[in-house]
């Protein structure tokens, strides 16, 4: 069963994500987030989606691509730990993923399709895990983490970027 993770279930760095997730059913929250993100990006023109609030900052397309990439990585970690894989997993450098992805060359529809397919996969995985899986622990980037915490980090990471979009991207 998924519940708000205790502070010993994730690294202190990830508290910035876990702490902003509202109370409630994490699967339902992820479903609502998906709809809100799709609605927002679907309302943008291709030109608006290329907007950057400052030189050297990510475009809105790159933000969505980053959200999707990060969720794919977090969901993969969640799967491995949920299945009892005790192999320590590495971290990743988010900025290194942006340029080779060429998100700005993709259409909004292509990016939304990718984001929604990753989210559907995450939701399917979460819905079908055994009830004992959320408590399973693994090592990611030299830190202990639970399956439970990873579900909250996926949600909180997206919430973090949605907040940044609202604050910095005036499209």
Q: What is the pLDDT of residues 116-142, one digit of tens each?
A: 999 999 999 999 999 999 999 999 999
Q: Let me know if residue 79 belongs to a domain.
A: yes
Q: Let me know if residue 122 belongs to a domain.
A: yes
Q: Let me know if residue 154 belongs to a domain.
A: yes
Stated pTM of the model: 0.96
Q: What is the mean pLDDT of residues 146-165?
A: 98
Residue 104 sits in a domain whose CATH number is: 1.20.120.450
Quickly count: other Cβ atoms within 10 Å of residue 160's Cβ. 15
Q: What is the mean pLDDT of residues 65-88?
A: 98
By residue range, what is the domain housing residue 62? 7-168
- Cross-strand pairs, 138: 145
Nearest to 114 by CA among 79, 71, 53, 51: 71
User: Does residue 134 contact residue 1 with C-beta atoms inside 8 Å?
Assistant: yes
Q: Record the tokens describing residue 58, joined without a space.
A: 């990510």
Q: Is the pLDDT confidence value at 171 over 90?
A: no
Q: Residue 170's pLDDT is what?
A: 77
- Cross-strand pairs, 137: 146
Question: Residue 83 and residue 91: Cα distance in Å, rounded?
Answer: 19
Q: Which residue matches tokens 């996969």?
A: 121
Q: Is the pLDDT confidence value at 2 over 90?
A: yes
Q: What is the pLDDT of residues 3-62, one digit of tens each?
A: 999 999 999 999 999 999 999 999 999 999 999 999 999 999 999 999 999 999 999 999
Q: Residue 20's pLDDT is what?
A: 98
Question: Residue 152 and residue 124: Cα distance in Å, rounded?
Answer: 15
Q: Let me know if residue 2 belongs to a domain.
A: no
Q: Residue 74's pLDDT is what?
A: 98
Question: Residue 27 and residue 161: Cα distance in Å, rounded?
Answer: 19
Q: Let me know if residue 17 belongs to a domain.
A: yes
Binning pLDDT at 50, 70 and 90, where does residue 148 land?
A: very high
Domain total in the chain:
1
Q: Let me know if residue 71 belongs to a domain.
A: yes
Q: Let me know if residue 1 belongs to a domain.
A: no
Q: Residue 101's pLDDT is what?
A: 97
Q: Let me know if residue 131 belongs to a domain.
A: yes
Q: Record the tokens describing residue 127, joined without a space.
A: 């819905």
User: Does residue 7 contact residue 15 with C-beta atoms inside 8 Å?
Assistant: yes
């Amino acid at each position: 069963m998924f519940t708000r993770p205790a502070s010993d279930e994730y690294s202190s760095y990830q508290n910035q994500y876990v702490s902003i997730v509202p109370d409630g059913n994490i699967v339902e929250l992820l479903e609502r987030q998906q709809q809100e993100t799709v609605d927002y990006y679907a309302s943008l023109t291709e030109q608006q989606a290329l907007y950057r609030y400052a030189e050297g900052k990510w475009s809105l397309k790159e933000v969505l691509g980053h959200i999707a990439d990060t969720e794919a990585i977090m969901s993969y970690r969640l799967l491995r730990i949920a299945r009892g894989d005790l192999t320590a997993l590495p971290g990743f450098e988010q900025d290194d993923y942006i340029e080779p992805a060429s998100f700005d060359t993709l259409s909004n529809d292509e990016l939304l399709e990718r984001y929604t397919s990753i989210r559907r996969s995450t939701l399917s995985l979460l819905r079908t895990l055994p009830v004992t899986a959320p408590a399973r622990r693994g090592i990611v980037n030299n830190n202990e983490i639970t399956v439970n915490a990873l579900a909250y980090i996926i949600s909180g990471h997206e919430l973090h970027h949605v907040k940044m979009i609202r604050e910095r991207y005036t499209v």
